[in-house]
């Protein structure tokens, strides 16, 4: 039995309060790793700071690897889930898209990760992603659907997009220039701050779920 979080208090106006430390591993790619940013400006440090400001004794492990695909995440899942880890954020798939990897392959890799989390009795927040239209409608439909389908199948928490805090999948890229690095792919420090605002409530729900494990 993993360590429990005691004294979780929820209300319309207050975030949960936690009486002991919880450890969350963030398994992802360059977006999680903090590509192009100094360490404290990256996603994981900013999210940890945000969560601690809500009263949580939370430690985040940066398990993001730049360039990683779902296959890379699957290969790292078991050893990322050490006995100290209470919860897992899974944010992978962007590099699968860049390489045009079959969504069936990505789905199978994500299943490996979710099965490893199940075996370790670790709660998961699965972060979805939406494919562009240039691979064709069949590819897009299969890719977009695998995240909510797997979240339902494995009973994970689900967040539609890593970029929800920037307006989500439907936002006009031209409106995001002030929040992106020069490559137009990776957020700058201000963009990460907005992304963290979008992530925060989902991760608080993940912490609350982990309290019952």
Residue 185 lies in domain: 22-210
Question: Is 30 an active-site residue?
Answer: yes
Catalytic residue among 75, 172, 186, 202: 186
16 confidence band (pLDDT: 50, 70, 90): low
Catalytic residue among 19, 29, 30, 149: 30
15 confidence band (pLDDT: 50, 70, 90): very low
174 confidence band (pLDDT: 50, 70, 90): low
Mean pLDDT of the chain: 89
* pTM of this structure: 0.88
Q: Is residue 180 part of a domain?
A: yes
1 confidence band (pLDDT: 50, 70, 90): very low
Q: How many domains does the chain have?
A: 1
Question: Is 183 an active-site residue?
Answer: yes
Q: Is the pLDDT of residue 186 over 90?
A: yes
Identify which has the larger pLDDT, 103 or 21. Answer: 103
Closest CA to 127 of 80, 64, 173: 64
pLDDT given at position 211: 83
Could you give the CA distance from residue 177 to residue 190 in angstroms, rounded to a whole number?
11
Catalytic residue among 118, 175, 183, 213: 183
pLDDT given at position 20: 64
The set of long-range contacts for 37-41, using a CB threshold of 8 Å and a minimum separation of 24, is: 37/188, 37/189, 37/192, 41/188, 41/189, 41/192
CA distances, 4 to each of 39, 86, 87, 133 (Å): 30, 9, 11, 44
pLDDT given at position 213: 41
CATH number, domain of 165, equals: 3.40.50.1110
Per-residue pLDDT tens over the stretch 41-95? 999 999 999 999 998 789 999 999 999 999 999 999 999 999 999 999 999 999 9
Exposure string of 158-167, with b = 16+ CB inside 10 Å and e = fewer, is ebbbbbbbbe
């Amino acid at each position: 039995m993993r360590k429990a979080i005691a004294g979780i208090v929820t209300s319309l106006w207050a975030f949960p309060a936690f009486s002991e430390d919880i450890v969350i591993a963030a398994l992802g790619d360059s977006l999680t790793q903090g590509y192009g940013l100094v360490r404290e400006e990256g996603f994981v440090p900013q999210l940890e700071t945000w969560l601690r400001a809500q009263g949580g004794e939370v430690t985040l492990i940066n398990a993001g690897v730049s360039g990683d695909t779902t296959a890379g995440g699957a290969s790292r899942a078991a050893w990322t889930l050490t006995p100290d880890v209470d919860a897992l954020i899974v944010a992978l798939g962007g590099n699968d898209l860049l390489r045009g990897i079959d969504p069936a392959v990505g789905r199978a890799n994500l299943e490996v990760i979710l099965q490893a989390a199940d075996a370790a009795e670790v709660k998961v927040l699965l972060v979805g992603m939406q494919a562009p239209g240039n691979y064709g409608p069949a590819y897009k439909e299969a890719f977009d659907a695998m995240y909510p389908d797997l979240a339902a199948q494995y009973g994970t928490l689900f967040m539609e997009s890593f970029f929800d805090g920037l307006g989500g999948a439907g936002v006009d890229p031209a409106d995001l220039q002030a929040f992106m690095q020069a490559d137009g792919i990776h957020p700058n420090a201000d963009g990460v701050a907005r992304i963290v605002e979008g992530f925060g409530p989902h991760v608080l729900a993940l912490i609350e779920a982990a309290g019952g494990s």
